[in-house]
Structure 1
């Protein structure tokens, strides 16, 4: 098998003219890269591309993103898929972990001299940022997928298994004089069968180690179809000539990657919820409301670009906001409506960060935990921010611009002006809350209505209040 594939390195006579589209798979494999690969591949196919070359240079990344990319590559019918592990001054020359999974999903694999492939066992990021091995369920799922990809595309199955499973023992053997890489079970089966002459040469990967192959080893054992140092040699090895188009991630891809990162998501959630609170507590519709809309449009919009947001997430979010509004306007305080609203908002945000609802695999549970942590931190930060604004906002001049400044001190037709009243005389007087204070609203004192603040507290309409302080033309009251 190795010698047959080695012949592919030589330029094939009578090379056909074909459209070749090169799609880079570089850096950390994540949702934004998944969206880029899908978009570029669909664009290439729509323009009649006959070869899709995935230029791989990665240490790996998220399991879910890698599986999505492999599923898409396997679905390509009208073009030949080729993985090329390339090497240059700006590259790392590796296709490890999730990169190996993507390479195995292609019909052919080419590698530049000096590159390597393997070490595809799934890991998670533990406390302190250290990587930890995942459970057997995740390993079993990835192992089955690796074997299925190798089997479908004619790659050595034993190599695929040894790259992902620490328990696999891989041997280099001569089968009727041809070097192959086989698992110990396959070697023993061939020896027992007796139909072929089997000679054990050496252990390639012992139990307890993950397999990684250099370009030369991959060629020798039949994983690589050939060695290609540059694109010209690669095209010659494929036996094609013609136009070559290279897809490149744009600024929009970088922006989506930034917006979907954990820290930015936390900031957007914090900003959106705090701005909703400010909008509810200020008259009309202004800057806080616009800011909240923009923040949540960025959260859900970036998720939608990655194919993770549908009607479910939007409906849950709208219902959650509605329940919060009912809690604030109809049943002041904090009870069932408010808690239910926050839960629904949290669920909508979590679902917008993943493409599944109920986890089936261990890595999906891990991803769910990561997304839930991001949303939880955002919600807690928002609650703390809202509490800080409710307690200290009225004392800060910065928020005066967001509050209603005019006090209603006379009815229509009267000449009395708010500026004609000495507000200091109101301190100590008793009045009635003419609206619900949340914590801002209006109170009636001696038959006149004033703009008031409950200093962070909520006071129901009709309750007695006492003026404790005066700030400009705003009175600060407490519940009597």
Structure 2
């Protein structure tokens, strides 16, 4: 039995590693490509990266990869064409931090520019996470008919969207204000886009039209600055969004441009070197790393591992399990979340589960420890940190733990149903031993041959009934005729507490069946 466990575990380890490297290779930074990869780079000094759709971890990978490609080409202008309703705050912050990191360095004279475009393929909006990304650029240009704003973070609870807690709002508010200060945008506009409590006014100061919060306005009036109130832009309880015209009037937008040619002219750029769009593999990575798909892969992988461990040889169950977990860990590897620690924890957890199933009767500390370690490895594979350091990471940890726990509980339920109903379902016939053993190495079946040799100690149990003390899968313990002994079934699973009857004795092996 120990040799069987070693063989099966080594097979699973080798194939898991093969599957992991295959999936991670498919989505690696050199292979994941958008449409820009299919066309040779033209002579120019501008590169356009389109940020379209939900802002999620796969978008972070896409932006970083394409930005590095542009930097290798030596372009001077990096144009982020933004068209999104928003997305995950943590992903938006990662993109914003990355964009700020390439500004104004000796190694990178790149000038990042945000462009909210309006054409037949776009919605003409840069809301929520999209606005945060726009504020990280040194300039913002908008086409006519577009809008920007509404950055207040929200959480989804039981399918309902709710405003995030004050700590999260305060963190996003301070980050938006910091981005505005760094790039010369009106801080009051940044605050009003995040916080419902901010009151924003249009004023005229020294002949200039500005947007000031009520606090800034009152401070100017106390300091004796000549300020003329024109109109309230955003009342308390409202969240600010600006049209392209308003954004230009209040100094947020550097200009209203409707075409790529007009934008290049305003920037003083010669030509576009390339345009990067999220490709098929970027979309596949986004789907693969979504919470519902991750939960499904966890359920599928755990159930298939259980079926593979309890079936002879290596077959389709093991292959499906490998593909499922290769999808989980491979996608995490591409996003920079998975290293050797997560893989070691996962394989250690699988090893503990195998030992519990094959070597230890019942289900106890070893099996529970295996499940906990597998769960921990899966949670770590969904995030790029081990210990949360801020409110965003605590929220992300809770989300990941919820996904993993739901997947594991669903898998345990499915495994229990399979253990109970499997022998009655034809698709699981391969899990049941149908051949009958009529003899042993020490001689024929004592029942059929009338012998009372090797099995004399147990031969008298034939026909007796008792109770399964542990779950028989297919071996375990049962209490028969007042004595507890090791028994086994003919390949079927029998739950603990179920009545059993001894059908034959093969040497020192007691074969039982459920009481009918």
TM-score range, shorter chain: 0.7 to 0.9
| Counterpart Cα distance in 2 of 1:455 and 1:27 | 49
| Counterpart Cα distance in 1 of 2:441 and 2:360 | 32
* 1:284-363 alignment, distance < 5 Å: 284-363=313-392
8 Å Cα contact 1:442/1:450 also seen in 2: yes
8 Å Cα contact 1:70/1:102 also seen in 2: yes
Structure 2 residue 276 is matched with structure 1 residue 247: yes
8 Å Cα contact 1:125/1:131 also seen in 2: yes
Structure 1 pair 401/148, CA: closer, same or farther in 2 (3 Å)? same
SS of 2:253's equivalent in the other structure is coil
RMSD: 2.9
Indicate the residue corresponding to 2:99 in structure 1: 73
Structure 2 residue 140 is matched with structure 1 residue 109: yes
Indicate the residue corresponding to 1:467 in structure 2: 503
| Counterpart Cα distance in 1 of 2:488 and 2:154 | 62
Which of 49, 62, 66 does residue 36 from structure 1 map onto? 62
SS of 2:490's equivalent in the other structure is strand
| Counterpart Cα distance in 2 of 1:229 and 1:476 | 80
TM-score where L is the length of structure 2 = 0.78
Q: Deviations over 1:89-131 (max 9, x none)?
A: 232111111111000000100000110111111011123x221
| Counterpart Cα distance in 2 of 1:63 and 1:50 | 28
* 1:145-294 alignment, distance < 5 Å: 145-194=175-224, 196-294=225-323
| Counterpart Cα distance in 2 of 1:38 and 1:347 | 28
8 Å Cα contact 2:474/2:491 also seen in 1: yes
* 1:430-445 alignment, distance < 5 Å: 439-440=473-474
Task: Extract unaligned runs of 5+ from structure 2.
Answer: 1-42, 446-460, 478-486, 505-510
8 Å Cα contact 1:308/1:351 also seen in 2: yes
TM-score where L is the length of structure 1 = 0.83
Structure 1 pair 430/29, CA: closer, same or farther in 2 (3 Å)? same
8 Å Cα contact 1:56/1:95 also seen in 2: yes
8 Å Cα contact 1:97/1:120 also seen in 2: yes
Deviation at 1:65, TM superposition (A): 0.8
Which of 117, 122, 142 does residue 86 from structure 1 map onto? 117
8 Å Cα contact 1:56/1:94 also seen in 2: yes
| Counterpart Cα distance in 2 of 1:208 and 1:457 | 60
Q: Deviations over 1:421-455 (max 9, x none)?
A: xxxxxx965699xxx98513699xxxxx9971343
| Counterpart Cα distance in 2 of 1:59 and 1:298 | 28
| Counterpart Cα distance in 2 of 1:364 and 1:413 | 63
SS of 2:168's equivalent in the other structure is helix
SS of 1:285's equivalent in the other structure is coil
Deviation at 1:145, TM superposition (A): 0.5
Deviation at 1:224, TM superposition (A): 0.4
Structure 2 residue 169 is matched with structure 1 residue 139: yes
Deviation at 1:294, TM superposition (A): 1.4
Deviation at 1:292, TM superposition (A): 1.2
Deviation at 1:366, TM superposition (A): 3.0
SS of 1:316's equivalent in the other structure is helix
Structure 1 pair 317/347, CA: closer, same or farther in 2 (3 Å)? same
| Counterpart Cα distance in 1 of 2:149 and 2:77 | 24
8 Å Cα contact 1:18/1:51 also seen in 2: no
Structure 1 pair 407/141, CA: closer, same or farther in 2 (3 Å)? same
Q: Deviations over 1:258-295 (max 9, x none)?
A: 11122222221111111111121122322222221111
Count of aligned residue pairs for this structure pair? 434
Task: Extract unaligned runs of 5+ from structure 1.
Answer: 1-16, 417-426, 444-448, 469-474
8 Å Cα contact 1:278/1:288 also seen in 2: yes
